[in-house]
């Protein structure tokens, strides 16, 4: 072989090696799989608090791309203010927990917020992506101004306010309606039971529940959710666990493994949203390495 041919062969070998090195590096960086559902076709996502980083940071952390992204929106915040067009571009469902602060149920029912609601509906329609809108969530608790037992509120007023908001979204076909109760009624009185807050089949596309293991006492997934889920199943609607998380503790990884296994195996549950924030407790999925690993393994 002459020197010219030897050099050409050497150069070809180098170029091929560089190609495979580049390919390997690219694959290593992009470790998560786009829009990977849980087994049994479950939908899943998260609310990621600003202090916990961006949603992309969360996805890189868990090495998967979620198909739902949740946010909390205060009453009188405009939809255009949110600037979440990238969620639609990424083909994710935007879940909006719409919190009725600084307004009363009576005021909503009377139509005092109609201009704001209609503007929000118009902007949501223009957004174009899929939205699950969840107003008045955890209404059977006692910690929100829209809770059914607070002040002169009642379950009947919660229903009327929910229906009023819903009816002002006519022809907004990309918006679906979620109804999210707390896993237990606080206070646990006959008036404050879950069934007393249901707006009706015509007003709800998805029923759901919020529940957390606060850690004191430590509660299993079944202890938190089984009672509420049994009540929700009677509505024959798709069920979401709209907010869930576990406090930091030595058993957090086991709790995550058990919870997501139960969700996967329950055909009545459509999906779940992890509440990823260090708040009342450290709900972060990476509060320790074992918890993170458990979550990563559960959503493979």
| 222 pLDDT more than 90 | yes
Interacting residues of 210 by C-beta distance below 8 A, sequence separation 6+? 137, 138, 180, 181, 182, 183, 241, 242, 243, 244
Kindly report the pTM of this predicted structure: 0.85
Q: How confident is the model at residue 53 (pLDDT cuts 50, 70, 90)?
A: confident
Phi, psi of 33 (to 5 degrees): -100, 125
Ordered DSSP codes for 164-209? HHHHTTTT-TTEEEEEEEESS-SS--GGG-GGGG---GGG-SEEEE
Higher pLDDT, 241 or 21: 241
Q: What is the DSSP letter of 248?
A: S
| Class of 33-298 in CATH | alpha beta
Q: What is the pLDDT of residue 79?
A: 85
Q: What is the pLDDT of residue 81?
A: 60
- The burial class, CB within 10 Å (0-12 / 13-18 / 19+), for 16 is exposed
Largest Cα separation within the chain, whole Å, is 96
Mean pLDDT of 160-183: 97
Q: What is the pLDDT of residue 59?
A: 94
Give the best-scoring range by mean pLDDT among 53-57, 82-86, 205-209.
Answer: 205-209
Q: How far is Cα 287 from Cα 247, in angstroms, rounded to an integer? A: 9
Instruction: Report domain extents, the chain.
Output: 1-30, 33-298
What's the whole-number average pLDDT of the chain? 88
Q: What is the pLDDT of residue 242?
A: 99
Whether residue 68 contacts residue 37, with contact meaning beta carbons closer than 8 Å, is answered with no
């Amino acid at each position: 072989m002459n020197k010219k041919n030897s050099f050409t062969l050497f150069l070809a070998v180098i170029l091929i090696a560089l190609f495979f090195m580049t390919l390997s590096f690219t694959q290593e960086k992009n470790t998560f799989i786009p829009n990977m559902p849980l087994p049994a076709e479950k939908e899943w996502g998260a609310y990621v608090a600003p202090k916990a980083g961006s949603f992309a940071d969360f996805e890189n952390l868990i090495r998967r791309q979620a198909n739902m992204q949740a946010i909390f929106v205060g009453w009188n915040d405009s939809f255009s203010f949110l600037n979440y067009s990238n969620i639609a571009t990424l083909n994710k469902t935007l879940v909006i927990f719409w919190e009725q602060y600084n307004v009363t149920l009576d005021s909503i029912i009377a139509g005092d917020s109609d201009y704001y609601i209609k503007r929000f509906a118009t902007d949501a329609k223009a957004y174009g992506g899929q939205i699950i809108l969840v107003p008045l969530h955890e209404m059977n608790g006692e910690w929100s101004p829209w809770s059914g037992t607070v002040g002169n509120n009642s379950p009947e007023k919660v229903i009327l306010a929910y229906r009023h908001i819903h009816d002002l979204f006519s022809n907004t076909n990309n918006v679906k309606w979620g109804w999210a109760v707390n896993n237990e009624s606080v206070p646990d009185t006959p008036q404050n039971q879950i069934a007393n807050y249901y707006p009706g089949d015509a007003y709800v596309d998805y029923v759901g529940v919020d529940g957390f293991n606060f850690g004191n006492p430590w509660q299993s997934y079944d202890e938190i959710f089984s009672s509420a889920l049994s009540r929700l199943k009677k509505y024959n609607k798709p069920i979401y666990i709209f907010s869930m998380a576990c406090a930091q503790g030595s058993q957090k990884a086991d709790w995550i493994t058990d919870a997501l296994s139960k969700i996967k195996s329950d055909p009545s549950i459509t999906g779940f949203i992890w509440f990823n924030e260090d708040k009342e407790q450290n709900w972060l999925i990476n509060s320790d390495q074992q918890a993170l690993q458990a979550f990563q393994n559960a959503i493979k």
